[in-house]
Structure 1
Amino acid sequence: MKVHSTNYTNVLITPSEDSKAAFSMMPSTSGTIGAVQFDMLQASPYTLTGDDLLIAVLATRKSIPQEEWADLRAEIFSKGQPCTRVSPLVKTMGWALHHDANSRIAMIDVGTKEYAALNADDNVRKIHGMRNKRR
């Protein structure tokens, strides 16, 4: 059986081109996908891969015990899943997501020197977050 993945390597996902956020914002409502992603990535930068984040957010929001996460992972990744390009962090909150050489993710404030350095680095591929609306 094919196992799908949402992981990127050496990629900077920049805010969606049609994001209304002028700067990186904190989530306004707790418990949403964006808020759970924000909390996890803020607490532990460069710890989770895209796959890990997807499972952790889903399991947290559905109160699935950690001992069941392996089964959840097998079920979820038996089919293709949306990647971090559709994250509310990049689509509506104005954050960038950096996937390092080990596919681990950190949330990057677009107003920082760190973002400017990553955006200027030719070894890091840049991809916009998915648009909110079709053209």
Structure 2
Amino acid sequence: MKDHNHYNVFIEVAEDCPVSKAEIPKAKGESITVPVLQYEMIANHPYRYTQEDVLFEVFAARNHIPDQEKQASREAFFSKGQACLRTSSLGKRYGWGIHHDQNGKVALYAMESDEYKAFLTDANIKRVKAMRSSKA
């Protein structure tokens, strides 16, 4: 199976991100949104999960996949192309940079933080921008 993780990569906030400092995503009514699930998973457990873990666990939670079916569901999920965390609203809308360490584990950094700014000048990691929300 193809590896969908990134290694030593920092996803910068999108050029058209509407906020000047990071915001924590909020649930909409009864529905817990994808950005809320992604934020809670990564922010509460920095460098514990890979991009694949985050993408699949959010999918599994939203689709109520039971634990005993997760392995087969995960294989089916990644057998098709999946959008990476560059498309996440965390970087597009909410102002969070996403760092993938040398093991592919992810953590969030607020765009106004010193840590975020340090990643922008770190020659040892690859930097990419989150996808734009609108076409240029």
Q: TM-score range by the shorter chain?
A: over 0.9
Match of 1:27 among 25, 28, 31: 25
Asked if 1:120 is matched to 2:103, the reply is no
More divergent stretch after superposition (18-27 vs 59-68): 59-68
- What's 1:131 paired with? 132
How many pairs align? 133
Q: Which moved more, 1:35-44 or 1:115-124?
A: 115-124
Matches within 5 A, 1:70-109: 70-109=71-110
Q: Please, which runs of 5 or more residues in structure 1 have no aligned partner?
A: none
Q: Is the 8 A contact 1:18 1:131 kept in 2?
A: yes
Q: Deviations over 1:50-92 (max 9, x none)?
A: 1111111011112212221111111011111100000010010
Amino acid at match of 1:79: K
For residue 96 of structure 1, report the CA deviation from its aligned partner: 0.3
What's the offset of the Cα at 1:22? 1.1
Two-structure CA RMSD over aligned residues (Å): 1.2
Match of 1:17 in 2: 15
Query: Which whole-Å CA distance do the structure 2 matches of 1:93 and 1:6 have between them?
Result: 23
Could you tell me the percent identity over the aligned residues? Answer: 35
| Structure 2: runs of 5 or more not aligned | none
Task: Give, in angstroms, the shift of residue 6 of structure 1.
Answer: 2.9
Runs ≥4 residues deviating over 4 A = none
SS at match of 1:97: strand
Structure 2 residue 5 is matched with structure 1 residue 7: yes
Residues 80 and 4 (structure 1), Cα distance of their counterparts in 2 relative to 1, 3 Å cut: farther
| Equivalent residue, structure 2, for 1:38 | 39
Using structure 1 for the length normalisation, give the TM-score.
0.93
Q: How far does the alpha carbon of each residue in 1:3-40 deviate from its partner, in whole angstroms, 9 at most, with x for none?
A: 34431100000111111011110112251000000111
Deviation at 1:41, TM superposition (A): 0.7
Mapped to 2, the partners of 1:87 and 1:118 lie a distance apart of 19
